[in-house]
Structures are given as C-alpha cells and as structure tokens.
Amino acid sequence: MTTAVTTLPVLHPARSLARMDMTLALRAGSVAGIVAVYAAAVGILKVFGQREVIVDHLTLGHVFLFSLAGACGAYVWTRSKASIRLRVINVVIAGIASGFFLVALIALMANVNLRWMFTALSSDLLRSLIYDRGAVGGSVLFLGAGALGAICGALLIGLPQTPRRCLVWGLSAVLIAGVFQELIQIALRFGWPITSLRTFLYVWRGLTLQGAMIAFATAFCVCWALDLGRRHLRRRRGPADIDVAIPRLRSQLASAVLLLCILVVFPLVAGSYIGQVMMLVSLFVLMGMGLNIEVGLAGLLDLGFVAFFAVGAYTMALLTADSEFALAHYTSLPSLTFWMALPLAVLAATGIGILFGLPVLGVRGDYLAVATLGLGEIVRVLVISDAAKPVLGGAQGILQVPKPTIGGIELVDPMHLFYLTLVFVLVAALIAWRLEGSRLGRAWTAIRDDEDVAQALGINLVQCKLLAYGLGAAFAGLAGAIFAAMLTSVYPHSFSLLVSINVLALLIVGGLGSLPGVIVGALLLIGLPEVLREFNEYRFLFYGVLLIVVMQWRPEGLWPSPQRKREVRTPRLG
Amino acid sequence: MAVASEKTRSAYAPAGLKPMITQTIATEHFNKRQGAAPVLLRTVDLSMRFGGLTALDRVSIDVHQGVIHSVIGPNGAGKTTLFNCVMQGHRISSGDIQLAGERLIGLTPDKVAAAGIARTYQNIRLFTGITAIENLLVGMHRHLKSRWWEAVLASSRCRHDEEKAHAEAREILKFVGLAGRGDTLARHLSYGDQRRLEIGRALCTRPKLLMLDEPTAGMNPREITEMMIFIRRVREAFGLTIVLIEHQMRLVMEVSDKVTVLDHGVKIAEGDPAYVKSNSAVIEAYLGHAAQRQEHPA
Ligand SMILES: Nc1ncnc2c1ncn2[C@@H]1O[C@H](COP(=O)(O)OP(=O)(O)O)[C@@H](O)[C@H]1O
Ligand SMILES: [Mg+2]
C-alpha cells in the first residue's frame, strides 16, 4: 500500500479518476460499436432496417442503433464516479466511440468488398440507414446520433422514477404502434370513429410522424395519471395489513383479468392469422403453467417436459384418428371423439409424469436437469424408433386426427379453436392458482427452499414431488391433446428438446412462479417471433439476448409473483 | 402430560433467582420423579460412523417425559449428529432409537415428525423466501387434512381447514413474540426473532419431543437469558419434553433437569446438573480442550 502511494504522487487523484472514466467510456462505446458492426455483418441490421417504425423517418434499424448508444451512455453515467461535467463528457465520448465503429465500417466497405463473406454487407444497407447521404454526411450522422443516443440514455437513467417511467411508456407506445402497424391497422378497420382514428395515425405503409407524436403523448399522459392515482391510493390506504398472508387475490387477479381481456379481444379484431398465433401462444401458456408447477413452485428443474406434451398428443391421435395406427383400427376399442379422448390423454400424461418422476426422486440440482433431459430424449427416441413404428407411425406420424366438435359442428376455424383453447387455459389457470395457495402449494415452496427441513416438518417428499410431476404433466398432456386435434396430425419432430427449452425460457422471462408471467413470457417468446416473421431467422439470438437482459435487469422476471419479487429484490439481512 | 407440566412449573424459580438455588430445586425435582416419568426417547448403543470417523460411539441416552434434557460437549462431539440420527437424516451404523417404545430406525424423517419429534437447527434453517406466517403454515402441513383436489374445488372443508390453520398460526406467532410481524419475510427478521420463529415452526407440528440445537448460538448474554425463559415457557405451555444442545454452561445448569455430556462421540457423563458440573471427566474434557486450543491457536 505504502509503496503504491509513494510511486504514484505524480498523478493528481482527480485526473487519474478522469482517466479511469475515460477508459470506461471508451470501453463501453467500443462494445456498443462492435455489437452494431456485428448486427450489420450478420444481417440483423438489414432486417431491422426494412421494418419502418415511422414512415420515411425511422426504421427499427435506427431504433436499434440508437438504443445501443443509449445503453452505453446509461452504463457510463451510472458507473462513472467523476464530477457531473466530466460524466457528461464521458457519456458523449462513449456515444461517439460507438458511432465510430460504423464509420469505420463505411470506410472499409468503400474500399474492400466484404460481400463474399458477409452477404448482408451491401452498400444500400448503410445508405438507407443514413437517409441516402454520402459517406461524409453519413459519418457525421453516425457520430452525432451516437453522441445523442448516449446522452438520451444517460438522461433516461438519471431521471427520477416517475418521469422516467412515463418516458419509457411513451417511447414503447411509439415503437409498438409503429412495429405492429399492420395488426393495429387491421384492428382499426371497423366503424366510423375508429376508422378516422386510423387515418389520423397511419398511412397505409405505417405510422406517420404525427401519429407517433400522438401515441407518445397519450401513453405519457396515461402513465402519469396512473402514477398519480397510485400515489393517491397509497396515501389513503396507509400501511399494509398485518399478519395475513399476502393478499394474492387482489393483486394477481386484477392483472390476470387485464391480460385475459387482451387475449380475448385482440385476435377478434386482429384477424385470423393472429388467431392462429394466439392459439400457439395459448398452448404454450398451458405448458408453461404445468412446468411452472414443477420448476416455479416445487423447484424441480425439468428439461424433459416435452415428453408429456408428446404423450398427450399421441394418446389423442391413437384414440381418435381415422388411420391404420389408431387403436380402433386393430383392436376392438371404439374410435373416440375429441371430448372422450381428452381426459384419457390428460390421464396418460399424468401417469407418465409420475413414472418420469420416480427415477429422479432422489436427484437434486444440476443432476436433475441432466436426468430429466435424458428421460425426455428417451421418449422422443422411442417415438421415432423402428420398434415403435408399427404402433406410433415412426417419422411419418399419425394423420387424420379429427378436429373437436361442439354440438355436432366441427371447429375448423382457427379462431374457434383458439377460443376453445382459451377456455381450457382459464380452467387450468384457476386450478394452478388454487393449487399454488393450497397446503400442497406451500409444501412445494418449502421443498424448493429446503428439502431436508421440509421433510423433517412432516412433508412427504415422495408424494409431493410425484404430485408436482404428475400435475405438471397433466397440463402438458392437455396442451398436447389439443395440439394434435389442431394440426389433425402428430409428427415426432414436433416434440424436440427445443419445446422444453422454449417453455422453460418463457417461464424465466415471464417470472418463475407467476401465472400472469407465463402469459407475458409466452406472448413475448412464442407470439412475437411469429408475428414479426422476418425475425424468425434470428429467433434464438433474440431469446438469448432477451434472457440475458432479463436476468441482468429483472432477475425476478417481467411479471413476477409478489413473493418472488420480494425475494429477489430485497437484500438478505441476518 | 398436563399433570407433569403442572409439577414442573413449581420447580422453576423466576429468572432472577440465583443459579445455585435453581439448581438444587431442579435436582431435587429430577431425583423425585426419575422413577415415575416414563422414557420418551431412548437411544441404545447408538453408533454413527462417517467413513473412518466415529461421530457417535455406542451412545445410550434415556430422555424422560416432561424434562428438559441437555446435551453438552465440545465442538465436534457429535451432538448435532445425535439429532440427525434421531430424525433419521442419517442411516445409523448400529444401535437402536425408540420413541415411547416404538423403533424409529428405517423411518423417513417425515414419519419421524409424524411420530411426534420436531427439531430446530444450529444454523437457522427457515424458509427464507416466504413470510413468517407462511413458515408456520408449512409446519402445520401435517395437520391439514384436505387433499389437493379439495383445494382445487375450494371445498368447504378445505376452506375451513385453511381458516383454522391461519388462526392457529397467528396464535403461535403471538406466542413466539412476533404478533403483527406475520407478513415479514423470514429473512428480514432479526436473529433472535428468527430463532423463535424456527421454534414456533417446530411447535406447529405439535410434537411430543422438541429438539433444540444450540438455540442461543451467537446471542449476547441478555438474549441468552431471554431465550432460556422462552424455552421454559414453551415447555410449560405445550407440556413438551425438550432435548437441548447448549454451549452456555451457566444456562445449561440453570434450566436442565438432566445433562448428558458427549466428547468425541462418547458419552462421558450423565446426571443432574450439579453432578455433571463436578464430574472430573467433564472438567477434563472441557479443560483439556481449552488447553489444546491454547497450544494450537489455529
Ligand atoms: N454428514 C457428515 N459427513 C461427515 N462427517 C460428519 C457429518 N456430520 C458430522 N460429521 C462429523 O462428525 C463429528 C461430529 O459433528 P457434530 O455432530 O456436528 O458436532 P457438534 O457436537 O459440534 O454438533 C464432526 O467431526 C463432524 O465433522
Ligand atoms: Mg452442532
């Protein structure tokens, strides 16, 4: 220590601090710049550039680059310890540094042909980004926009909570109104007052500048008003009640109802393609609620979850299909209808779930992930295997599964199927919610927290764990059965490991242990890539980034359960 | 049970009384009833080996009903291991453990809990992510009879059960001095509160035998005195038998009816506190360890 002090007297402490901050700014700017160049090279920027947020003014590519600069500005602002003036300078430096990488890319592209390696790096990629300005104008634009973005990011972070939240709402509203313009325009095609709203906000290609401003202002004001209302309520209500377990009902039910309304109304106004997407989303919501019982409540990590989905689907197919593989074809069993087969499919999945749980009862932690992964793969391999081919149809699957009927009418329209699934989702959600608050739900939480202590308090681990696997599997079996009827066929390739990973990812993004979180996660991870088709190519990149971002900034998930929120957000005392 | 606790109550002097006086009363009391009270927990030649290490070596202990029975001994003597063995957390190497004449060997811990034993842990092991009252409700798991499908259907029996459990949990919460704090996350409670909540959680299982593992570890003298008063209150209010692992000699002497001393897994002395205190083997064990510690300050 003393030697360090004696050898460093030449450096003024404040100056060394400034130098340290400068390095920080340069480093943050470089990371943002490299990410931008990477996005350009692999083609993300090109795809984003084609999606207009505000017609003729802003593409998603701009938004992407601007938020990159903003993120690095915010980072530098929070990390820097220097005086305000120095911090501002550092933020600007970081922003310029991030822009510099793209300038370098322009220069490089002007002199070297990189397209043999990166097909996305065409000259019109950047030309559209810089509004057809030349190399010099473009460079200035990149550097300036980088600096501006960084300042905006720092500002946003530096603002107090209320205005920040309102700004975020406003910007999100513009982004949503712009990116989802097709859907919203379809939704706004009805009737007089709404149609005029549409012409006010949109031209046929997308959101107008005027529309963007209106969207921003509206969201901003709504957020502000909500905040005022909330504060008023809090002041009136006084401190929270004591000695009651959290008022689950009030907080969770309200949010669930809100989400539900969106789920019901949205496909109705947005057309049948959205209906199909929402159908898929609701199947994943069903699975998510099942896996939530296993992972979110009981803490039993399960990477073989897709097996139960497969069991449900195959049971439905075997019992109802009009095919040589159907049980009715070669046994004396009658061919069942959708409604008769459904409980059997759920039951079969539950049984497999319990069987599945048995071998991993004593397995804990990381090993559980590996063990369940293996079990899930066993099911998939069995289905594809030659041995099972005479029964399950091998890779060709089972065709001609009938669609569900209600009162003799076949539900062919995807919209009708969606609403049918929605009813199942509702029932399942009610069941999941009641289970969560029950004696069994508490036992699951206890097992998740400390298995040994739970057992020493008289909780039967075997029973509770098997119930978690069985009930979780029941949800997946239900989803699988509906899936088979929806597609009117089952193929083994629908049941890959990726399904399990998708379900787990949507749970984590939405918030482990939270029912509304399951819906949010499914909308984001399953619905969004389907709606924004062009992003489908980068789907897993998107997953990865989203997971990292959520883990970093909201480890409790986007819509956490109240309990989990407290758990993650509050520091551990004692 | 009730009669036993009636008797014992008179045996305890208020906390302020001099330790010596308390001691003699406790000893007398112990001698008087030794023949009468049946054995609740009995270990017979209990041995526990971890690989080459013998943590318990043919330990035989009788815990009589209604008493506070302390187990003392230097660190690593095997006290916690004894609890683990009784709870069937370990598979014991040899010997036998009985609760009121019933063998416990081979049961799973939840069956042992059902037989009527509850314990706390040396390093508090509450469910830290849930609230105080939820911790107690988990302890009550065994006594709620409604099945999961009744919860799904929200049957009236289930709702009735839940209401009763909440009411009872609030009672216990009050008893452990946490009235009004039920909503607090367990991890946000103070150290002493956490200790008492953990005891409350054990009480929720309605045990016959409560095993406390160093409930005063890490406490200051005032908190230790409070904890001892609390432990007596627990015994009196619930008519329990308590096995207590303790380091604080003064308090062991003050509160116990009977003391067992373990050293290196061997029972080296047993008897009423006064006897144990004057036993040369005990003094040797403690002083010997003290002397060793001085030689090897590590
Ligand atoms: N699960 C275990 N595996 C191996 N050794 C153990 C285990 N539990 C306890 N021991 C050992 O047994 C001895 C007694 O430990 P313990 O019962 O915790 O002592 P204490 O009397 O301080 O509570 C110690 O030497 C300890 O290292
Ligand atoms: Mg110990």
* Residue B138 sits at the chain A interface (C-beta within 8 Å): yes
pLDDT value of residue A249? 54
For A512-549, the pLDDT digits (tens) are 888 889 999 998 999 888 887 767 778 888 888 888 88
Residue with more model confidence, B191 or A15: B191
Rg of chain B over Cα atoms, rounded to whole angstroms, equals 20
Integer CA distances (angstroms), A362 to A16, A92, A368, A371, in order? 56, 56, 9, 11
Instruction: State whether the beta carbon of B123 lies less than 6 angstroms from ligand 1.
Output: no
A565 pLDDT higher than 80: no
Best probe of the A interface among B85, B87, B90, B110, by most A CBs < 10 A, is B110
A245 pLDDT higher than 50: no
B117 pLDDT higher than 90: yes
Residue A490 and residue A403 share a domain = yes
Task: State the average pLDDT over residues A441-462.
Answer: 94
For B118-149, the pLDDT digits (tens) are 999 999 999 988 899 999 999 999 888 888 88
The CATH number that applies at residue B215 is: 3.40.50.300
Min Cα separation A461/chain B (Å): 8
User: What proportion of chain A, given as a percentage, has pLDDT over 70?
Assistant: 90
In a domain, A368, yes or no: yes
In a domain, A273, yes or no: yes
β-pairing verdict for A489-490 and A398-399: antiparallel
| Mean pLDDT rounded to a whole number for chain A | 85
Residue A388 and residue A329 share a domain = yes
* Residue B256 sits at the chain A interface (C-beta within 8 Å): no
For B71-107, the pLDDT digits (tens) are 998 889 999 999 999 999 889 999 999 999 899 999 9
Residue A190 and residue A138 share a domain = no
Task: State the average pLDDT over residues A49-73.
Answer: 89
Residue A276 and residue A323 share a domain = yes
pLDDT value of residue B4? 40
Substitution site in B43, B50, B79, B91 for ligand 1 pocket (most atoms within 8 Å of beta carbon) = B50
Residue A296 and residue A445 share a domain = yes
Distance B246 CA to ligand 2 centre (A): 9
B56 pLDDT higher than 70: yes
Residue A208 and residue A142 share a domain = no
In a domain, A100, yes or no: yes
Closest CA to B154 of A439, A253, A250: A439
| Token pair belonging to B124 | 């508090």
Task: State the average pLDDT over residues A372-378.
Answer: 89
Q: How confident is the model at residue A263 (pLDDT cuts 50, 70, 90)?
A: confident
In a domain, B54, yes or no: no
* Residue A246 sits at the chain B interface (C-beta within 8 Å): yes
Q: What is the pTM of this model?
A: 0.83
A392 pLDDT higher than 80: yes
Residue A374 and residue A455 share a domain = yes
Instruction: State whether the beta carbon of B248 lies less than 6 angstroms from ligand 1.
Output: no
Domain count within chain B:
1
pLDDT value of residue A191? 59
Query: Residue B233 sits in which domain range?
Result: 6-19+36-47+66-240+248-295
In a domain, A245, yes or no: no
In a domain, A147, yes or no: yes
Return the sign of the alpha-carbon dihedral for residues A239, A244, A245, A247. negative
Task: State the average pLDDT over residues A446-466.
Answer: 95
Domain count within chain A:
3
- Lowest mean pLDDT, pick from A366-370, A446-450, A473-477: A366-370
Distance B92 CA to ligand 1 centre (A): 13
B275 pLDDT higher than 80: yes
Best probe of the B interface among A346, A354, A439, by most B CBs < 10 A, is A439
Distance B110 CA to ligand 2 centre (A): 21
| Mean pLDDT rounded to a whole number for chain B | 83
In a domain, A251, yes or no: no
* Sequence-distant (≥ 6) Cβ neighbours of residue A386 within 8 angstroms: A394
Query: Residue A556 sits in which domain range?
Result: 266-569
- Helix H or strand E segment including B263: strand B258-263
Residue B108 to residue A245, Cβ atoms within 8 A: no
Residue A242 to residue B109, Cβ atoms within 8 A: no
pLDDT value of residue A270? 74
For A288-309, the pLDDT digits (tens) are 999 999 999 999 999 999 999 9
In a domain, A121, yes or no: yes
pLDDT value of residue A214? 92
Best probe of the A interface among B90, B127, B172, by most A CBs < 10 A, is B127
In a domain, B58, yes or no: no
Residue A442 to residue B138, Cβ atoms within 8 A: yes
In a domain, B210, yes or no: yes
Question: Would you tell me which residues 426-445 of chain A have a C-beta closer than 8 angstroms to some C-beta of chain B?
Answer: 431, 434-435, 437-443, 445
In a domain, A242, yes or no: no
Instruction: Identify residue A325 by its one-letter amino acid code.
Output: F
In a domain, B233, yes or no: yes
Residue A309 and residue A393 share a domain = yes
β-pairing verdict for B266-271 and B94-99: unpaired
Question: Would you tell me which residues 277-336 of chain A have a C-beta closer than 8 angstroms to some C-beta of chain B?
Answer: none
Residue A562 and residue A443 share a domain = yes
A5 pLDDT higher than 70: no
